[in-house]
Structure 1
Amino acid sequence: MSVRIDIGGLRPENIVAAPSPLAELGMALHALSEPGHHPGLQGWVTAVTARLDCHLADRMCEADFLWRTTFSDLFQPYAGIPGGATLPGQTLAEDLDLLDKLSDEQFVDAALEFTCSLPYGSPGAGPLADAGLRRRALDLAAARGPRQLRFGERLLADPPRIRAWLRRFLQDCDEAFFAETWARLRHQLAADARHKTELLRRKGLAEALAAVSPAVTLEEDAGRITVDKLGEGRTATAGGGLLLVPTSLGRPHLMVLHRYGWQPVLHYPVGSPELAAPPSVEQLTLRMTALSHPVRMRLCRSLARSAFTTGELTQVHGMTAPEISRHLSVLKKAGLVTTRRRGRYVLHQLDVAMVSRLGSDFLEGILR
Structure 2
Amino acid sequence: MSVRIDIAGLPQERIVFEASPLAELGLALHALAEPGHHPGLHGWATATAASLKPDLADRLCEADFLWRTTFSDIFMAFAGLPGGSGRPGATLAEELDVLDRVPDERFVDAALEFTCSHSYDVGKPSPLIDPDRRAQVMELAATRGPQQVDFARRLLTDPADVRAWVRRLLEDCDEAFFADTWRRVQGQLVADARHKTELLRHKGLPEAVAAVSPALSVDDDRRRLTVDKLAHGTTTAVDPAVGPGLVFIPSHFGWPHLLALHAPGWRPVVQYPVSAGELPAPPVELLERRLEALSHPIRLRICRNIARSPYTTGELAYALGISAPEVSRHLAVLKKAGLISTRRRGRYVLHQLDVTVVARLGSDFLEGILR
Asked if 2 retains the 8 angstrom alpha-carbon contact of 1:244 and 1:268, the reply is yes
Asked if 2 retains the 8 angstrom alpha-carbon contact of 1:291 and 1:297, the reply is yes
1:329-349 per-residue CA deviation (whole Å, 9 max, x = no partner) reads 111110101112222222111
Asked if 2 retains the 8 angstrom alpha-carbon contact of 1:331 and 1:337, the reply is yes
Question: For residue 30 of structure 2, what is the aligned residue in structure 1?
Answer: 30
Question: For residue 305 of structure 2, what is the aligned residue in structure 1?
Answer: 302
Shift of 1:222: 6.5
Give the aligned length: 367
Question: For residue 324 of structure 2, what is the aligned residue in structure 1?
Answer: 321
Shift of 1:220: 4.0
Question: For residue 19 of structure 2, what is the aligned residue in structure 1?
Answer: 19
Question: For residue 245 of structure 1, what is the aligned residue in structure 2?
Answer: 249
Query: For residues 48 and 215 of structure 2, what CA distance do their matches in structure 1 show?
Result: 32
Question: For residue 149 of structure 1, what is the aligned residue in structure 2?
Answer: 149
TM-score (norm 1): 0.97
Question: AA paired with 2:92?
Answer: L
Shift of 1:322: 0.9
Shift of 1:20: 0.4
1:222-241 per-residue CA deviation (whole Å, 9 max, x = no partner) reads 61111111111111112411
SS of 2:226's equivalent? strand
Query: For residues 171 and 149 of structure 2, what CA distance do their matches in structure 1 show?
Result: 24
Question: AA paired with 1:314?
Answer: A
Asked if 2 retains the 8 angstrom alpha-carbon contact of 1:66 and 1:72, the reply is yes
Question: For residue 339 of structure 1, what is the aligned residue in structure 2?
Answer: 342
Asked if 2 retains the 8 angstrom alpha-carbon contact of 1:84 and 1:241, the reply is no
1:201-231 per-residue CA deviation (whole Å, 9 max, x = no partner) reads 0110111111111111111436111111111
Shift of 1:76: 0.3
Question: For residue 287 of structure 2, what is the aligned residue in structure 1?
Answer: 284
1:230-288 per-residue CA deviation (whole Å, 9 max, x = no partner) reads 1111111124110000111011111110010111001111144x622321111011100
SS of 2:119's equivalent? coil
SS of 2:114's equivalent? helix
Asked if 1 retains the 8 angstrom alpha-carbon contact of 2:82 and 2:102, the reply is no
Query: For residues 253 and 277 of structure 1, what CA distance do their matches in structure 2 show?
Result: 12
* 2:265 is the counterpart of 1:261: yes
Shift of 1:84: 6.5
The runs of at least 4 aligned residues of structure 1 exceeding 3 Å deviation read: none
- Using the TM superposition, name which of 222-231 and 30-39 deviates more: 222-231
SS of 1:114's equivalent? coil
1:114-152 per-residue CA deviation (whole Å, 9 max, x = no partner) reads 011242223331000101111111111121111111111
**In structure 2, do the counterparts of structure 1 residues 220 and 148 end up closer, same or farther at CA, with 3 Å as the change threshold?**
same
SS of 1:63's equivalent? helix
The unaligned stretches of length 5 or more in structure 2 are none
Asked if 1 retains the 8 angstrom alpha-carbon contact of 2:33 and 2:68, the reply is yes
Query: For residues 35 and 174 of structure 2, what CA distance do their matches in structure 1 show?
Result: 19
SS of 2:113's equivalent? helix
1:64-94 per-residue CA deviation (whole Å, 9 max, x = no partner) reads 1100110000000000122464211111111
**In structure 2, do the counterparts of structure 1 residues 191 and 222 end up closer, same or farther at CA, with 3 Å as the change threshold?**
closer
Counterparts of residues 164-203 of structure 1 (less than 5 Å): 164-203=164-203
Asked if 2 retains the 8 angstrom alpha-carbon contact of 1:85 and 1:241, the reply is no
